[in-house]
Amino acid sequence: MDERETKKIVIDAGHGGDDPGTSANGIVEKDYTLQISKYLKNRFDDLGIESALSRTDDITLGPKERPGKVQSFYGNGNDVIVLSNHINAGGEGFSYHC
């Protein structure tokens, strides 16, 4: 069996709701992490890769709530990949981390 077929992906759109993350020049991190996460979900769907989103709307997932939400889809086994999307502001502007 091909090991790649057994992987499942949880895409965590960082921040959200009451937690906007970083912002500058009209860019709000929570909005972009959600857009990026939805794009990734659509691409994985197109490729036939099983995936789930930690949030699909602008909701608050607190630091105690987020891990449980992420694990609620597929558990926390070795067959699960978690992508946590964040955009950080720094000296030269924004940088994207996944």
Q: Which residues contact 26 (CB under 8 A, 6 or more apart)?
A: none
On whether the CB atoms of residues 30 and 16 are closer than 8 A, the answer is yes
For all residues of the chain together, what is the average pLDDT?
89
29-53: pLDDT as tens digits: 999 999 999 999 999 999 999 999 9
Q: What is the pLDDT of residues 67-77, one digit of tens each?
A: 999 999 999 99
Task: Assess whether pLDDT exceeds 70 at residue 57.
Answer: yes
Tokens 């691409």 found at? 43
Q: Which residue carries 């789930």 as its tokens?
A: 52
Q: Rounded to two decimals, what is the model's pTM?
A: 0.84
